[in-house]
Amino acid sequence: SSALASKATGDPIAKMAAKIAIGLALDEIVNPVTGTTKAEFEPALDYVAVKIPRWPFDKFTEADRELGTQMKATGEVMAIGRNFETALMKAIRSLEIGTFALDDLTYSDLRNQDLLNRLMPATDERLFMVADLLRRGITIGQIHEKSQIDEFFLDKILHLIEIEKELKMHVLDFKILKIAKENGFPDVTIARYWQLEEKELRHLRKKEDLFPVYKMVDTVAGEFSSKTPYYYSTYELENESLKEKRPSVLVVGSGPIRIGQGVEFDYATVHCVKAIQKAGYKAIVINSNPETVSTDFSVSDKLYFEPLTLEDVLNVIDLEKPIGVVVQFGGQTAINLAGRLENNGVKLLGTSLKDINRSEDREDFNQVIKKLDLSQPFGKTATTVTQALSVAEEVGYPLLIRPSYVLGGRAMEIVTNRQDLSDYMKRAVKVSLKHPVLIDSYLTVREAEIDLLSDGQTIIVPGIMEHIERAGVHSGDSMSVYPSQYLDQNVQEQMLDAAFKLAKELHTIGLMNVQFVIHEQQAYVIEVNPRASRTLPFISKATDLPLAQLATRVMLGEKLADLGFKSGLMAPKKLVYVKALVFSFNKLPKVDSSLGPEMKSTGEVMGVDRNLAKALYKAFVAAGFKVHEHGNVLFTIADRDKKEALALAKRFDELGYVLWATAGTSSFLHENHLPVRQLGKISEDQLNPVTAMRQGKLQIVINRLKTDEPLESDGRAIRAAAIENGVPLFTSLDTVAAFLQVLESRSFNVSAINKGDKS
């Protein structure tokens, strides 16, 4: 809430707290202009700020949506308006969950009393439930009695419902349109009520001279002329934001932090702003996230705290008339706006829209791969269940299937049979909207990726990042190592050759990420992202190369050759860098913690040292893993993975770990002459994996599930118990192998020291 308060009032609370921490009293912190102390100063704000948390339930559909004392949000949005109604409506469309107004989620399948009962305990949808109840005529008093929401807020929501009804009853009524815009209704919603296209409503607004103006966030309560370049839109007369005299560049942010799109894009945006300013332009940022550094008013020349929708971005562009707009650093949010911005006459800096679409659209990208004669896993697209089943027969199971134009591997799955594919298609078509579903042959092999920078002529690759987990675990959930430790030189050359060809063919100006799977010493291209990727901060810090700043300079017309760069792979660093992931399963107890093609991590850490084992150790510890050098390890392994797990079990045994296992795995290990202690089924035996963890008897849990594991299985219960009891949990055998490297290295070092070897 400090970020919200600081950005809503313009007062840097953290800076004041730091001054207090070093001994200054609050009444000694003086406003340098007026002489007013902070103890005396209370701004009389003439606007309202609304914060709404961003929950991950769109990705974790099986999660418990009940809100309580355990925080479940991954991020938040903030919106500012002249009244509560406007701020609330802006915040709703800032969430990026497909909602633009209060009637985008309705509950026609529930009776009034049932819906009223759903208000408590609260869920992430309660705001929309309240609106639906008010729409049905349920009184403010009834809702307050059930939910204890203050009647002030309920009355404001009722006002929005009343405007909603007026809009539907008075089509093309300019007076009602003006009232709706003054209370935060977006063009896309009004157009839906009036059965118009959004662009038609925008044209109507302009014809009636109905434009937003921008007000400055008043950080000094009108005591003197504030110069804080921090604005929000409202439908009034006086505009306090004047177009910059110097040429400006607009940078589109990435919206709320969520799984698949986090602070990596805030990092990129801040560096982009620095480069724009150094190039002599005014840097303007538009974003809706109060938590980020890029939305601090001291970073850019101007900050617009607005939703990242087409209407809101175009409104800023209409006023500022920048020389161009940067979408490469705003993740999938900004990329998804690119086409509609260009269709409205906006100049995009960097890679062209045509080439962005050639990399994002599967059919177009297949043509690129074919033209360049590059290797790619065999696959096709489908938009219907019938088409998907036909494609699957041609491609062959198992399949890697996912919607196009989505982030964080959302709705990506590995499908092994016809029925699962049919079930998937019924769900995924909704996720993919107008875009096809991608169906590829699934190769269980090593994965690697490249971030590159191109100016259209010179192409530089800072380094090759090798994943520890094989394909099938989303790249955002895979541990990553730079420089590559195990890829053959021939494979690395294949990757570089493919990346260079793709960068040239797609006329890349700025950044591009290319992902590969390595199968039988052949590098297959699996994906290209025509933007800054989530690995950008990692590879930038590992190579000491400010990629975001360089990419911005390139987009503004500078040439890499003039900056001293030559095409090729940069010389690898002498140290080893490991990226490890952080998960929040303890906050979402019903979410399955097994890793797969859909991204689940909420953050990352980096370990750096002189060799891989030491860097891995630091990364594991930083990610919260407890590194026990001895103890008990539980193996519960599906049949398909038992042979591979055997080698890992032998290594644990050699380190002095005691092997524990569930029935099937125990029999297998015993047959292969390993000492093992068997645990029973959870529903049948007193001593089972869950009770063993609760009693502190297990130090590591290795759990490899069946692909068709039911929701109420022992496997899920074991994983949940590991999370609940803080026991290191591994669901990928590749991660186990990396962890064993750490244990073996530490065991070797202790042994060497005991023998007097100081090396």
**CATH number, position 726:** 3.40.50.1380
Taking 50 as the threshold, does the pLDDT of residue 581 lie above it? Answer: yes
pLDDT of 413: 73
The number of residues making up the chain comes to 759
Q: Could you give the number of structural domains in the chain?
A: 3
Residues 165 and 235 in one domain: no
Range 558-586 average pLDDT: 95
Name the residue range of residue 655's domain. Answer: 624-750
Give the C-alpha separation, 233 to 211, whole Å: 10
CB count within 10 Å of CB 636 equals 23
pLDDT of 471: 79
pLDDT per residue as tens digits for the range 14-54 = 665 655 555 555 555 555 444 555 444 444 568 999 999 99
Taking 80 as the threshold, does the pLDDT of residue 443 lie above it? Answer: no
**DSSP label of 37:** B
Residue 35 maps to a domain:
no
Residues 256 and 141 in one domain: no
Residues 62 and 192 in one domain: yes
CATH number for the domain spanning 244: value is: 3.40.50.20
Residue 360 maps to a domain:
no
pLDDT of 758: 43
Sign of CA dihedral 17, 19, 21, 26: negative
- Cβ-proximal residues to 389 (8 Å cutoff; 6+ apart), any chain: 418, 421, 422
Residues 110 and 147 in one domain: yes
Residues 205 and 62 in one domain: yes
Residues 201 and 219 in one domain: no
Residue 381 maps to a domain:
no
**C-alpha 473, offset from chain centre:** 16
Is 306 within 8 Å of 288 (Cβ atoms)?
Answer: yes
pLDDT per residue as tens digits for the range 240-256 = 999 888 999 999 999 99
pLDDT of 363: 82
Sign of CA dihedral 611, 615, 616, 617: positive
Q: What type of residue is 114? A: D
pLDDT per residue as tens digits for the range 51-97 = 999 999 988 888 899 999 989 999 999 999 999 999 999 999 999 99
Residues 178 and 108 in one domain: yes
pLDDT band for 483, please (50, 70, 90 cuts). Answer: very high
CATH number for the domain spanning 134: value is: 1.10.1030.10
Q: What are the backbone dihedrals phi and psi of residue 741, each rounded to the nearest 5 degrees, phi first?
A: -55, -40
Judge if the upstream peptide bond of residue 229 is cis by omega within 30 degrees of 0: no
Residues 637 and 690 in one domain: yes
pLDDT of 3: 67
pLDDT band for 757, please (50, 70, 90 cuts). Answer: very low
- The residue out of 210, 236, 253 marking a domain boundary is 210
Range 334-340 average pLDDT: 94
246 three-class SS: coil
Is 588 within 8 Å of 56 (Cβ atoms)?
Answer: yes
Residue 411 maps to a domain:
no
Residues 142 and 98 in one domain: yes
pLDDT band for 759, please (50, 70, 90 cuts). Answer: very low
Cα dihedral 440→443→444→450 (10° resolution): -90
Closest by CA to 143, choosing from 109, 120, 110, is 120
pTM for this predicted structure: 0.87
| Averaged pLDDT score across all residues of the chain | 88
**C-alpha 245, offset from chain centre:** 36
Residue 456 maps to a domain:
no
Residue spans of beta strands (DSSP E) within 59-201: 75-81
> Would strands 464-467 and 480-482 be described as parallel, antiparallel, or unpaired?
antiparallel
CB count within 10 Å of CB 312 equals 21
pLDDT per residue as tens digits for the range 648-678 = 999 999 999 999 999 999 999 999 999 999 9
- The residue out of 155, 190, 210 marking a domain boundary is 210
pLDDT per residue as tens digits for the range 589-615 = 778 888 877 788 989 999 999 999 999
- The residue out of 210, 231, 256 marking a domain boundary is 210
pLDDT per residue as tens digits for the range 698-740 = 999 999 876 555 556 788 899 999 999 999 999 999 999 999 9
Phi/psi class of residue 365: alpha, beta or left (left: φ > 0; alpha: ψ in -120 to 50)?
alpha
Is 92 within 8 Å of 102 (Cβ atoms)?
Answer: yes
Residue 569 maps to a domain:
no
Residues 219 and 297 in one domain: yes
Residue 244's alpha-carbon distances to 51, 247, 314, 358, in angstroms, are 29, 7, 16, 35
Range 185-198 average pLDDT: 98
pLDDT per residue as tens digits for the range 114-129 = 999 999 999 999 999 9
pLDDT band for 408, please (50, 70, 90 cuts). Answer: very low
pLDDT of 753: 46
Residue 71 maps to a domain:
yes
Is 181 within 8 Å of 170 (Cβ atoms)?
Answer: no
Residue 9's alpha-carbon distances to 4, 294, 759, in angstroms, are 8, 17, 58
CB count within 10 Å of CB 751 equals 10
Sign of CA dihedral 108, 109, 113, 118: negative
Is 75 within 8 Å of 53 (Cβ atoms)?
Answer: yes
Residues 62 and 153 in one domain: yes
DSSP assignments along 470-490, one per residue: PTTS-GGGS-EEES-SS--HH
pLDDT of 640: 86
Residues 200 and 320 in one domain: no
pLDDT per residue as tens digits for the range 139-163 = 999 999 999 999 999 999 999 999 9
Residue 552 maps to a domain:
no
